[in-house]
Structure 1
Amino acid sequence: MDWSTFGSAVAGAVVGGFLAGYFSLKATQKSHENQVKHSEENEEKIISGLLQAIHDEIETVFERYQESMGARLESLDDGHGLAYYYPLVSDFFNVYNGNSFLIGRIPNNDLRKQIVRTYTLAKGMIDSYRMNNDLVSKWEFSEKLYAESQLEVHKNQAIAHYSALVDYAKILKDSHKTLKQEVSALLRELRKNGVLNEKNN
């Protein structure tokens, strides 16, 4: 047995194994880096799409609200109740509600907080209008009873219910003003974060 040939063969095998292992490790690392990069790019696309959808939802819903009820509330004189039934039959916030699990993944803390604050106020405003609708129903019912019966008790109930509407209108106006400010702040923040930039979409 020739030891020099044997030694060369072993050395070649060791070096070859080392090189194969090294390049295999490098290939695995590169593959992992590519997967991480791909995952990060996908996450960015998901968050970017979410922010665009939130922008569009808030802008559209608030514009519709402002046209249908916001302007009416703003023009309501002090000392008057909002004696108007505002129909609220659907979920206005499909994007937010359907993607709430993604909100926590928005990396910008201030933006994330502004989104949650704005939607919370908007949902609270809807509840406030539902309460106002209830007050309107009670007032209208009392007015109807008084018109039919001409009894003083029904007149007094109608006056009391309208007084509640007047008091509640002040709360609605304050809530509306706050919501309007927060919606503007959110839309501004979303635009600042590039939601209207076509390259991000």
Structure 2
Amino acid sequence: MMQDCSFLVDIYHSAATFCTLADDDAKITDWIQSIGTIFALAIAIGAPLLQNWHNRKEDDRKQEAEIKSFLRAIRAEVMGAWENYNLMVRNGVQLVKPGEYVSSTFQFSERSFSIYDSSGVQVGKILDAELQRLIVNTYGLAKSLIASTQINNEMLRKLEASENSQSSSLIAPRADIRKKLIDYAYTLKAIDAALEMSVNNLIERLDRNLTQSS
């Protein structure tokens, strides 16, 4: 009888052991499935995030290249315009002495600043605030100088017309025009000096920016 009981006890322990192992296998299977689910979820969430990050980096790289290209174009335009101004106009302004006026007329192309005028929106994308300011200020001064020179040209034409006239009634207006021209020479010289400083500062800042970005 004791042997039978012992046998039954052995069967019970064997069954219990089997059930425990079965439970452990089930738990392991559940863990594997859980880990697989977590990995699948991580990939589902992470892949789009990684792609978005990559797209942003690529967009940033393209924008940086675009801005660098714009800055190089601005540098070339500013230098070209400044060299032409020095060659054809500037002496006529700088050599004017007190009491004299700019006596030559100068013509400027209507599209003297085609790059800036057509792509000026790029200035807003430049991160360097001082460089932004210098670009806008330099072109503003250049356009102001052109407008002021055109005003001077018009006064010279009026003076020439009055000098060619035989009417004595134009003597007083003639003197008035000369006085305005003399006064306006100070304006032209002041803009010229401000433009020279702005151009030099702009070129220096552009070169620094382009060198750092290379």
TM-score range (shorter-chain normalised) is 0.7 to 0.9
Aligned to 1:170: 186
RMSD (Å) for aligned C-alpha atoms: 2.3
TM-score normalised according to structure 2 size: 0.81
Aligned to 2:91: 71
Aligned to 1:81: 101
Q: Secondary structure at the match of 1:193?
A: helix
User: Which digits, 9 at most, give the CA deviation of each residue in 1:7-56, with x for residues without a partner?
Assistant: 77665544323212212322222212211111111111111111111111
Q: Secondary structure at the match of 1:104?
A: helix
Say how many residue pairs are matched. 193
Specify which of 62, 68, 79 is matched with residue 59 of structure 1.
79
Specify which of 119, 132, 136 is matched with residue 99 of structure 1.
119
Letter matched to residue 99 of structure 1: S
Q: Indicate conservation of the 8 Å contact 2:92/2:104, yes or no.
A: no
**2: CA distance, partners of 1:142 / 1:159:** 10
What does residue range 1-201 of structure 1 map to in structure 2 within 5 Å? 12-145=32-165, 149=166, 151-194=167-210, 200=214
Question: Identity across aligned pairs (percent)?
Answer: 23
Which protein has the bigger helix share?
Answer: 2
Instruction: Give the drift of 1:183.
Output: 0.8
Q: Indicate conservation of the 8 Å contact 2:163/2:174, yes or no.
A: yes
- Please identify, of 20-29 and 31-40, the stretch whose mean Cα deviation from structure 2 is larger: 20-29
Quick one: higher RCO (CA 8 Å, sep 6+), 1 or 2? 1
**Which segments of 5 or more consecutive residues in structure 2 lack a partner in the other structure?**
1-21
Letter matched to residue 170 of structure 2: H
Instruction: Give the drift of 1:177.
Output: 0.8
Which one has the largest radius of gyration?
2
**Which segments of 5 or more consecutive residues in structure 1 lack a partner in the other structure?**
none
Letter matched to residue 154 of structure 1: L
Instruction: Give the drift of 1:124.
Output: 1.0
User: Which digits, 9 at most, give the CA deviation of each residue in 1:104-126, with x for residues without a partner?
Assistant: 11101111111111111111111
**1: CA distance, partners of 2:96 / 2:131:** 33
